[in-house]
Structure 1
Amino acid sequence: MRDLHQQIQKLRAEISNDQCPRTTYRGQGMLSAEFEKLQINSGGLLSFNNFLSTSTDRQVAFCFAESIKQDKSMIAIFFRIEIDASLSSTPFALLKDTTQFTMEEELLFSMHTIFRIGQMKKIDDQFWEIELRLTNDKDELLAYLTDYLREELGPKIGWLPLGHLLIKIGKFDQAAEICNQLLALTAENNWEWLIAIYNQLGVIHNCKGQFQQALSFYQKSIEILEKDISLYRQQLAAVYGNIGEVYRNMGDSKAFEFYQKALEIQENLLPPNHPHLAVSYNNIALAYKLFGNTSKAHLYYQKTLEVQEKSLPSNHPEVATTDSNLGALYQEIGNFTTALLYYQKALEVKKKTLPPDHPSMAITYDNIGLLYRLMGKYSDALCFSQKALQIHTQSALSNHPDTAIFHINIGETQREMEDYLAALSSYENALNIQRNSLRPNHPDLAATYSSIGVVYECMKKYTDALSSYHQSQEIYKESFPSDHPHMATLYNNIAGIHYAMKDYSTALQFYQKTLKIRKKSAFSNHPGLATAYNNIALVYGALNNKSKELFFYEKALKIQKESLPPRHPDLAVTYSNMGALYREKNDYSKALSLYQNACEIQEESLSANHLCLVTTYSSIAELYFFMADYSMALTFFKKTLLFFKSKGFIYLYPLL
């Protein structure tokens, strides 16, 4: 291969730029899964892992591609490759005289030539034309990224840089194999090599969710580093940061201790805009977010971004990670529009710099899916979360804790769509992974038990729901302070069960606990506060205290109008609840206006046979009947009747 590469370089040097063709073509087949990855990466980079043979004769390549259509398992691809030889030093050779097919002019590119994916044109269902452009040597972003990653790989200690690169692209098992082979060949007194190998093995096990193994390897690094701290201070900071990350992934507040140790060393050794400082700031921000301090998290994310903007290329994967983290934080505080902008920004960067099946791509897809669910866009949510799960299951990461999160988010969307059995199945898939990869009292297990409890509550299996919530509560007590936001969510769920069981005083106590925590940990217009006010209003309604009921509904509505999209389903819930209150007060026109607001939102965001929408139709019908508008009443009663007929029920309207 080296000889062929050198021969191609020699042939390229023998022809001038003017003699080089400006366009060449290639016909080939792709499996559907490979083609889908190519589509996802549109506008990004593509590299072939072999020598690439192309033809300057369009018809030859086109006919070859067309012939592939006979194989129904393949997608036929006709590549049109644009070349500007004056702008690229990529080696290629025009083999006019040396190819065995004398009538075809072959242009052969060397291995790992990089192209940018351009326009994709569908010829038919099994045949596509795709434009590729040879990358430009003066493409500043690509060059900057390449230079930075080359620097980031560190000193050339044998095969370790390759292991680092394999971690970057999500090939953890191959990276571990290289490290273990190097470890077997490394002498006991070769401290520099041992530190690097142990640290890289720790990174690999952390990425795979094998946290105790990761800590064990990091501890081996520290034992060597402490033999001469003055010589290895920077490496010690890196290992401290890595240990902090493991503890954060385990939900353990020890993360702060090690992050601070790393930061103190770095601030003494490094210039203020060094990328390693950005890593430490980001880690501290993640820990603050995990433990519920959103204001501190925002502060450290901003510090991260400030350093990265000065020290990294704008399309570096770590910039995308910070964008994702800021998106998650804005999502946490209820600013969904800004959150989506950050997630989309992260996705665009990753499409340009990472392979389409990289685990980091899966995380961004899942983030967007979760956000769409919170925005009430359930079909979009399911689509993005399933993309994430597909990447992980195809990347040998089916038992990674992140894969459990993807199952959970799919289950949450299925629950919102009232497919409860499917949701329970998704949660069980998540539990199986978490039990095998996490410690028994990990907060992620508690969250999954809570999700299962919500489904049982929706199925009116209240005893099972309370049992799941209590399992969750026991874990949270061991992991978090009593005023952590996760506790607020749990108290809210427990309150909902007591409300459903008509134990209103207990329900009110738990809702007030929820409100107290959310007031302390969230911004003043966080949607979680609106939910708490809404639920407290429901309890006061059940206790027949109408003035307090209305007071809390109005507080909820004010926050939702400030923080949610105008067609968010949560607004419909509040409008419906207020409509019911005004109906009980015999203010039918006010009640009708509120129900109509709810109906408009639900018709846009819910399926036509969603129970909430049908309930709103029924309420509107009854109001029209009370107002003696029998024609409109009949219209909405018929809409309700269609639903019950589709479910095989007989619905009797006593008013008629």
Structure 2
Amino acid sequence: MEHVKSSTSFRRTTSHETIQFFKPKTNLKHRSLSESDLNKCRAYLIVPLFPIQIAEKSRNLEDFTIIWLDENADKMQLRQLNKYCQIFGDMKVCVDYIEALPRGKIFFIVSESLCQKIIPIIHDLSQVEFVYIFCPLKIKHADDTDWMKIFIKIRGTFIDEQSLLIKLTKDVALLSNQLSSISVFSITKTEYQEKSVKDLNQEQATFMWFQLLIDTLINLPKNDKAKYQMIDECRLHYANNKIEEKKINDFATEYTPKSAISWYTRDSFLYRLLNKALRTENIDDIFKYRFFIADLHLQLSDLHADFIQKWPIFSKKKTLTVYRGQSMSATELKKIQDNIGGFIAINTFLSTTTSSAVAASFAGDGSGRPLLESVIFEIDIDPSKTTRPFANIQLLSVMKNENEIIFSIGTVFRIESVELITDDLWNVKLIISEKDDEKLKEVYSYLKNDLTMDTPSLQNLGDFLREMAEYEKAEHYYRLLINELPAQHEDIANIYNGIGVTYYERGLDDEAMKYFQDALGMKAAKYEVVAATYVNIGLVQTRQSQNIAALKSYQQAVEIMENNSAKPNMVLASFFLNIGSIYDRQGDYRTALEYFKKSLDIARSIIPLFHPFYITLYNNIGLVYDNLADYKLALNNFDAALTISQKILPPHHSSLVPIYTNIGEVFVSLCSYENALEYHDKALQTELKSSNLNRHTMASIYNNIGLAHQNSGSFVEALVNFEKALEFATEPRTLTSLFNNLGTTFLMLNNHEKAITNFQTAVELKLKYLDEKHPSLATTYHNLASLYQTIQDYPNALKYSEKTLNIDKITLPPNHPNLATTYNNIALIYYKMLDFNRALQYCEEAIRIMNQSSFPDNHPLTVLFRNTMKIVQEKLQKT
């Protein structure tokens, strides 16, 4: 689903002055979801979703990093623990390095001379696990000095390397068994029991999309190239470690798919590097381990099938109980406590044991407090109801005495209880959950099938990364695939489309169009891909305000699909959505609504309720009702789009921006400016946190914030935000709206010269790309009329008001408040020109329209228009 992130929509309302020409207040509506989704023909029109973390600048591929701030420190002994021991003598460089490792687990050593300067700076960083103060050749300082009391991560002061190494080794062991890769679903037990479907929260969405990535990797074709890529990566990160280098060489020569479990359970490079990649959700790193992830999952699946078959024979119990002992951060444990009845998802391979005694030995003794708690997970499983494979690996594991059972990635458990069973030990009881959210499973299956299809490949991974809004990474994998395929392969056109979409999403229209044209030039392309390419070309044309050309491109796509497909499908639904968007941009709202409803009818017959396609569709329907001044239906549709977005998208996803914006604009229409600014600020904060900041979107957001301030009478604040918007704006439609809004603000600040300059610039730009009867021109004509009325040039005020009225009669429904506003404004001009009879005629027409609208009798516009007529009638009685 491609979406244009800063197109426009316009509204005019009036000021609240008693007998003034009513001031215009126009809006740049954020239509960033105005285009379409194309799923089944895999034509790269799918809404980008959760952006998984990109590779850090300084990669830390083992579980822990040791940082030593002391230019005289000797790191050689610490190499026994971890080759990533970094020495710093400069405090600022050290802090910069730590902040560049957003998901690192750092053990921080600092010399006594620097400790009181650096610890207050780094102590509260989430990356820093523990802090150690090193005081060589000095008397050990007391641990309870006043300044140290507030820093709970300090593990002590040490006068020699040996004592430091012993403590460090113990703490590394304490943290090594943490279950760090989990998602806790925030669903209370009451909510789960009362509702069959609960809105997905942020961690659920993150979990779902992470699982799609893993499933895609598991289904990639197997080849030796993937194996040797992983081996090369492991050698790179253990270049000077002779022990691990030997293990890597043994793996290269001895490994077979049937030995995956054996290798995973060894204390070696493979376990550490794989789990670090899974824990950080670093796509590039995970991809390098794809062949081993697949082998381990498949071996577990084979063992699981055998286990399920034999379970009823060897066990009289319905359930199997396993245990896992570990240390856990107090914060994470509290989160689990707060979600009893909810779910916990494991985003890595989970090791457990059938022995509670073995688990207890891994849980610890509470010595990690107050930061860490000792926990035993007690897990009850009904083997017949599990959807993810697990298996007893005792016969294949290197550790024969631990009765180990491993669960594959993505297993979901229900949280039953959390209890403190001794002073030092917690018990968390989990069960395998059969009652996962059915809507989540439905959407997950649909998207999973759409991604993997019959022959998973690098193309699927590119698609997935594009959906995650990782456009540069997606382009990288698409290009890898092009290099592997023959020059005229039928998939090349589709890949060109994929690359084109990554450029489109980054706002690089010229580069996008080049690849779409290249796709059309591929003779071997399937008809679905050709149709999709025309849609993609239409998207670029739409954003460049070439509406006639875009409509032609969309219609070509529809013709291709109708000539080759006998029944309705999501391709046609997507095309109808795009065509409706064009009519919407042209101000033909009724026709736009017809096409949107066609799209909705098809979608409801094919895809599940909570699917990204509906986000676009309901958003666009809401925009049409908004333009038709049916604000109740507009809010209903925007709320529907927001509900689906919050269910299936992670936080701060760019697709939330237009929905927040459009809800804010409805509140502007309803004169609820505080609510409007609240939603516009949500849009701004979401976009600022996006991994792909979009210039079009930023221009639109600042413009909308400016409009809310303008409508509330805060004209200086409005001006500040419009000028910020100009710094980002490049689209013609956006620029014209901004010049119009700047003109309005200058008018309200009585700077008539700047006002007329900006209005004239807006008209000139609009006449270049819009029909002369477009509603947007009515907005600027209206504003020019207001300007001329203010400077008492009534003939010109009447001239531009009549231009406004001519367009309004054609483009607006007969009960639209903008039409009433225009009649009222003309009445005021005749009033100023002392033609009271004509003024009364236009007043009566304005009130007649408001009486036919959905507005209440006490709406500010209705009250204002009646006040105008009352004053005109009083003048008539006196003459």
TM over 0.5: yes
Kindly indicate whether the alpha-carbon contact (under 8 Å) linking 2:715 and 2:745 is maintained by their aligned counterparts in 1.
Answer: yes
- Alignment counterpart, residue 548 of structure 1, candidates 816, 834, 838: 838
Bigger helix share: 1
Matched to 1:279, the amino acid is S
Equivalent runs, 1:150-549 vs 2, <5 Å = 150-151=449-450, 156=455, 158-187=457-486, 189-225=487-523, 228=524, 232-252=526-546, 253-435=548-730, 438=731, 442-549=732-839
Aligned-residue offset at 1:317: 1.0
Q: C-alpha distance in 1, partners of 2:831/2:620?
A: 40
User: Which is further off, 368-377 or 475-484?
Assistant: 368-377
SS of structure 2 residue aligned to 1:304: helix
Matched to 1:204, the amino acid is T
Q: C-alpha distance in 1, partners of 2:841/2:344?
A: 59
5+ residue gaps, structure 2: 1-273, 275-292, 372-376, 417-427
Matched to 2:566, the amino acid is P
**Cα–Cα, structure 1 residues 6 and 278, in superposed 2: closer, same or farther, change >3 Å?**
closer
Aligned-residue offset at 1:133: 9.8
Q: C-alpha distance in 2, partners of 1:69/1:509?
A: 78
Kindly indicate whether the alpha-carbon contact (under 8 Å) linking 1:550 and 1:578 is maintained by their aligned counterparts in 2.
Answer: no
Q: C-alpha distance in 1, partners of 2:379/2:756?
A: 62
Kindly indicate whether the alpha-carbon contact (under 8 Å) linking 2:538 and 2:549 is maintained by their aligned counterparts in 1.
Answer: yes
Aligned-residue offset at 1:385: 1.8
**Cα–Cα, structure 1 residues 420 and 271, in superposed 2: closer, same or farther, change >3 Å?**
same
**Cα–Cα, structure 1 residues 95 and 258, in superposed 2: closer, same or farther, change >3 Å?**
same
SS of structure 2 residue aligned to 1:502: coil
Matched to 1:370, the amino acid is E
Q: C-alpha distance in 1, partners of 2:787/2:552?
A: 39
Aligned-residue offset at 1:198: 0.9
Matched to 2:539, the amino acid is E
Q: C-alpha distance in 2, partners of 1:276/1:424?
A: 43
Kindly indicate whether the alpha-carbon contact (under 8 Å) linking 2:475 and 2:502 is maintained by their aligned counterparts in 1.
Answer: yes
Q: 1:576 matched to which residue of 2?
A: 864
Q: C-alpha distance in 1, partners of 2:705/2:431?
A: 35
Aligned-residue offset at 1:209: 1.9
**Cα–Cα, structure 1 residues 521 and 135, in superposed 2: closer, same or farther, change >3 Å?**
farther
Aligned-residue offset at 1:190: 3.8
**Cα–Cα, structure 1 residues 110 and 459, in superposed 2: closer, same or farther, change >3 Å?**
farther
SS of structure 2 residue aligned to 1:482: coil
Deviations 1:547-596 (A, max 9, x none): 4334433433343354354388xx32442353365357569xxxxxxxxx
SS of structure 2 residue aligned to 1:359: coil
Matched to 2:795, the amino acid is S
- Comparing both chains, which one has the higher relative contact order based on Cα–Cα distances under 8 Å and sequence gaps of 6 or more? 2
Aligned-residue offset at 1:282: 0.8
Deviations 1:34-83 (A, max 9, x none): x9xxx9xxx999966445799999xx9xx99x999989xxxxxxx99999
Matched to 1:272, the amino acid is K
SS of structure 2 residue aligned to 1:191: coil
The TM-score, its normalising length taken from structure 2, stands at: 0.55
**Cα–Cα, structure 1 residues 144 and 391, in superposed 2: closer, same or farther, change >3 Å?**
closer
Aligned-residue offset at 1:195: 1.0
Q: C-alpha distance in 1, partners of 2:636/2:351?
A: 41
CA RMSD of aligned residues (A): 4.4
Does residue 19 (structure 1) correspond to residue 319 (structure 2)? The answer is: yes
Q: C-alpha distance in 1, partners of 2:489/2:619?
A: 37
Matched to 1:575, the amino acid is V
SS of structure 2 residue aligned to 1:398: coil
Kindly indicate whether the alpha-carbon contact (under 8 Å) linking 1:24 and 1:107 is maintained by their aligned counterparts in 2.
Answer: no
Matched to 1:19, the amino acid is T
Kindly indicate whether the alpha-carbon contact (under 8 Å) linking 1:540 and 1:546 is maintained by their aligned counterparts in 2.
Answer: yes
Kindly indicate whether the alpha-carbon contact (under 8 Å) linking 2:488 and 2:522 is maintained by their aligned counterparts in 1.
Answer: no
Kindly indicate whether the alpha-carbon contact (under 8 Å) linking 1:241 and 1:259 is maintained by their aligned counterparts in 2.
Answer: yes
Q: C-alpha distance in 1, partners of 2:320/2:737?
A: 61
Q: C-alpha distance in 2, partners of 1:83/1:560?
A: 65
Aligned-residue offset at 1:179: 2.1
**Cα–Cα, structure 1 residues 388 and 83, in superposed 2: closer, same or farther, change >3 Å?**
farther
**Cα–Cα, structure 1 residues 19 and 7, in superposed 2: closer, same or farther, change >3 Å?**
farther
Aligned-residue offset at 1:147: 2.6
Aligned-residue offset at 1:469: 1.0
Q: C-alpha distance in 2, partners of 1:199/1:502?
A: 56
**Cα–Cα, structure 1 residues 55 and 389, in superposed 2: closer, same or farther, change >3 Å?**
farther
Q: C-alpha distance in 1, partners of 2:722/2:344?
A: 37
Kindly indicate whether the alpha-carbon contact (under 8 Å) linking 2:323 and 2:352 is maintained by their aligned counterparts in 1.
Answer: no
Q: C-alpha distance in 1, partners of 2:414/2:475?
A: 31
Equivalent runs, 1:535-614 vs 2, <5 Å = 535-566=825-856, 571-579=859-867, 582=870
**Cα–Cα, structure 1 residues 243 and 474, in superposed 2: closer, same or farther, change >3 Å?**
same
Q: C-alpha distance in 1, partners of 2:504/2:615?
A: 20
Question: Identity percentage over the alignment?
Answer: 28
Kindly indicate whether the alpha-carbon contact (under 8 Å) linking 2:322 and 2:352 is maintained by their aligned counterparts in 1.
Answer: no
Q: C-alpha distance in 1, partners of 2:613/2:650?
A: 15
User: Which is further off, 304-313 or 333-342?
Assistant: 304-313
Matched to 1:495, the amino acid is A
Aligned-residue offset at 1:178: 2.1
Deviations 1:247-306 (A, max 9, x none): 011110210111111111111111332110111111111011111111211111111111
Q: 2:158 matched to which residue of 1?
A: none
Aligned-residue offset at 1:6: 6.3
Aligned-residue offset at 1:389: 1.9
Q: C-alpha distance in 2, partners of 1:328/1:444?
A: 17
SS of structure 1 residue aligned to 2:469: coil
Aligned-residue offset at 1:160: 1.3
Kindly indicate whether the alpha-carbon contact (under 8 Å) linking 2:815 and 2:849 is maintained by their aligned counterparts in 1.
Answer: yes
Matched to 2:580, the amino acid is A
The TM-score, its normalising length taken from structure 1, stands at: 0.72
Kindly indicate whether the alpha-carbon contact (under 8 Å) linking 1:323 and 1:343 is maintained by their aligned counterparts in 2.
Answer: yes
Aligned-residue offset at 1:485: 0.8
Matched to 2:768, the amino acid is E
SS of structure 1 residue aligned to 2:605: helix
Kindly indicate whether the alpha-carbon contact (under 8 Å) linking 1:87 and 1:136 is maintained by their aligned counterparts in 2.
Answer: no
Matched to 1:219, the amino acid is Q
Aligned-residue offset at 1:115: 8.1
Matched to 1:273, the amino acid is P
User: Which is further off, 275-284 or 525-534?
Assistant: 525-534
Aligned-residue offset at 1:240: 0.8
Of structures 1 and 2, the larger Rg is shown by 2
Deviations 1:174-194 (A, max 9, x none): 22232233334444x243232
Matched to 2:711, the amino acid is E
Kindly indicate whether the alpha-carbon contact (under 8 Å) linking 1:157 and 1:193 is maintained by their aligned counterparts in 2.
Answer: no
Q: C-alpha distance in 2, partners of 1:493/1:83?
A: 69
Deviations 1:524-563 (A, max 9, x none): 1122212212222221222233343344334333433543
Kindly indicate whether the alpha-carbon contact (under 8 Å) linking 1:453 and 1:467 is maintained by their aligned counterparts in 2.
Answer: yes
Kindly indicate whether the alpha-carbon contact (under 8 Å) linking 1:88 and 1:136 is maintained by their aligned counterparts in 2.
Answer: no
**Cα–Cα, structure 1 residues 573 and 143, in superposed 2: closer, same or farther, change >3 Å?**
closer
